[in-house]
Amino acid sequence: MELLIATNNAHKVEEFKRLFAGLGIDVFSLKEKGISVEIEENGTTFAENAYIKAKTIYDLVKAPVIADDSGICVDALFGAPGVYSARYGGEGLDDKGRTALLLKNMEGVKDRSAHFACAICYIDALGKRHDFYGECQGTIGFSPKGENGFGYDPVFMVGEKSFSELSGKEKDQISHRGKANEKLLAYMKGETGHDQ
């Protein structure tokens, strides 16, 4: 089975390729299939945005697609940046800039609890939509730590370590994306009648 990942984020592609490795599903990125589209993510929930991305690409290829919409939700910031994680602080900022802004907005804040959230939308070969969701609880650190991962990983602490201080495989075992994907794989296993 071929599965297309409807994302322009190379880090997500890398994580999904790892999560599907050895399961008999050939995972392709949009780039690998020569598809280049800017999709307006105007939903207000992770699930809505994941569906918008998956449906846009499904309509182009009419083949199985998954999309991921994810972000970091900080309790003391009333859930921000949340669905706006990729656009936090506006267009001019990169991962480092957004992370620095988050740390600035958390200056002097005692309650540092936060979670990463991930909605995966799978549209199957027949065009039917399936939604999966995963979360990972943690805290916001006081400075960036570690070199691995992407986005807010350097400031997202799970215990003593940031996501960026974990190996990819260690992150997969506890991450929001890993958990949502586990549910997707369990669904696919039922769909095909064998392990995926």
Give the residue numbers annotated as catalytic, written as ranges: 69
DSSP state for residue 60 in the 8-state scheme = H
Q: 148, 165 in Cβ contact below 8 A?
A: yes
Among 29, 55, 58, 70, binds ligand ITT (CB under 6 A): 70
- Closest approach of ligand ITT to the CB of residue 99, in Å: 8
- Closest approach of ligand ITT to the CB of residue 80, in Å: 12
69 belongs to the binding site for ligand ITT (CB under 6 A): yes
Q: Are strands 65-74 and 2-5 parallel, antiparallel or unpaired?
A: parallel
Rg of the Cα trace of the chain?
A: 17
Among 27, 122, 153, 158, binds ligand ITT (CB under 6 A): 153
Binding range to ligand ITT, per CB under 6 A, among 17-25, 70-78, 126-134, 178-186: 70-78
Residue 85's closest CA among 156, 157, 165? 156
What's the burial of 22, exposed, middle or buried (CB within 10 Å: 0-12/13-18/19+)?
exposed
Q: Say how far apart CA 177 and CA 188 lie, in whole Å.
A: 16
Is the Cβ of residue 124 or residue 146 nearer to ligand ITT in the bound state?
A: 146
Residue 103 three-state SS = helix
Among 3, 12, 54, 162, binds ligand ITT (CB under 6 A): 12
- Closest approach of ligand ITT to the CB of residue 79, in Å: 13
Q: Say how far apart CA 19 and CA 22 lie, in whole Å.
A: 9
- Closest approach of ligand ITT to the CB of residue 87, in Å: 8
Q: Say how far apart CA 52 and CA 146 lie, in whole Å.
A: 33
- Closest approach of ligand ITT to the CB of residue 91, in Å: 12
Q: Binding string to ligand ITT for residues 18 to 37, with x set by CB under 6 A, is what?
A: --------------------
86 belongs to the binding site for ligand ITT (CB under 6 A): yes
148 belongs to the binding site for ligand ITT (CB under 6 A): no
In sign, the C-alpha dihedral spanning 171, 177, 181, 183 is positive
Q: Which residues of this chain interact with ligand ITT, rule CB under 6 A?
A: 7-9, 12, 41, 53, 68-72, 85-86, 116, 149-153, 163, 175, 177
